[in-house]
Structure 1
Amino acid sequence: MEEQLAYLIASVNRQLEEELTESLRPEGISVEQFRILTTLASNDGRSMRDLAELVLVDPATLTKIIDRMVADGLVYRAPDPDDRRKVLIFLSNRGTVLHDKLKGVLRTQQRALVSRLTEKRAEELASLLRGVISF
């Protein structure tokens, strides 16, 4: 199995998720919640469908996560000004503060990963992985 590309990619993903989970544990948020905060920090006011795609979570699970984040005051829902039937998700002030506090976690993980490879090989790997992803 160790020769199968899908297995290798899944193994790396699992390892990185576990490392990120440990880094986020002191703040009591999940990797998915952190991805939501990060996504909204760079482009606030996303629909649930867009957010689900961007943070790699199925829509039903995302609804539960967003419900919890609303209850924790990290995000809020508001109607889409262009289509009142749609709801958009926005980062709250508290969510912004938490994201700002934690964004170094991603930089630390990225530096550790690059140090395992070298800058050039990390760029090559990123390019290869982008080529595999179908959008």
Structure 2
Amino acid sequence: MGDNEATGQPGGERDERCALIDRLVQLQRTLGRFLAHDRSTPLLASSLTMQQLKVVVMLFFRDASSGQHLARALGTGLGTVTGIVDRLVAQGLVSRREDPTDRRVRLVELTTRGRLLAEELIDAGTSNYTRLLGRLDTETLHTLEKVMVKVQEAADDMLAGNTHPAP
């Protein structure tokens, strides 16, 4: 069997890795379906539009953002973002304030109510996942932790812009 020029892996090993990745993706989808019910509850209870939800979640991870930054992140115009933010302000989920480094810029940030909503949306499904993990023995939990740390490290590596995957 020939080596894969990009990875230096023999063809059979590359095929095995691809098959393993496919099985892991399928297992993740199955687990996602199991947890989806818990995760969908706060989404379905919310009266926010998809764009409004995106803004709330973006602000949760970024703290404060300018309207221009939100417009770029949403792939829309500043006027559209202004309308979205106006509706979120009216619902008490975000507030606007002056940027201390540039008084011409208005920053948008979550209010306490907005932060609580974002936490509820992001943490939805956690209790069911915790109960699921509680059904595993301690050795399996240790193994899963080691694997998840490696997955997190790979994600961090990707976010840092490293384009070379680990072998």
Letter in 1 for 2:81: L
Cα deviation, residue 104, structure 1: 4.3
Q: Deviations 1:52-98 (Å, cap 9, x if unpaired)? A: 11123321111111001001110000000011111000111000000
Which residue pairs with 1:86 in the alignment? 105
Q: What's the RMSD between the two structures over aligned residues?
A: 2.9
Structure 2 spans left out of the alignment, 5+ residues: 1-39, 127-157, 159-167
Who wins on radius of gyration, i.e. which is larger?
A: 2
Q: Deviations 1:103-122 (Å, cap 9, x if unpaired)? A: 14699xxxxxxxxxxxxxxx
Q: Distance in 2 between matches of 1:68 and 1:95?
A: 12
Q: 1:83–1:95: structure 2 CA closer, same or farther, 3 Å change rule? A: same
Report runs of 4+ in structure 1 exceeding 3 Å deviation. Answer: 104-107
Letter in 1 for 2:100: P
Q: 1:78–1:22: structure 2 CA closer, same or farther, 3 Å change rule? A: same
Q: Output the TM-score relative to the length of structure 1.
A: 0.58
Which residue pairs with 1:61 in the alignment? 80
Letter in 1 for 2:116: V
Letter in 1 for 2:110: L
Number of residue pairs matched?
A: 93
Q: Output the TM-score relative to the length of structure 2.
A: 0.48
Q: Percent of pairs identical after alignment?
A: 33
Structure 1 spans left out of the alignment, 5+ residues: 1-20, 108-126, 128-135
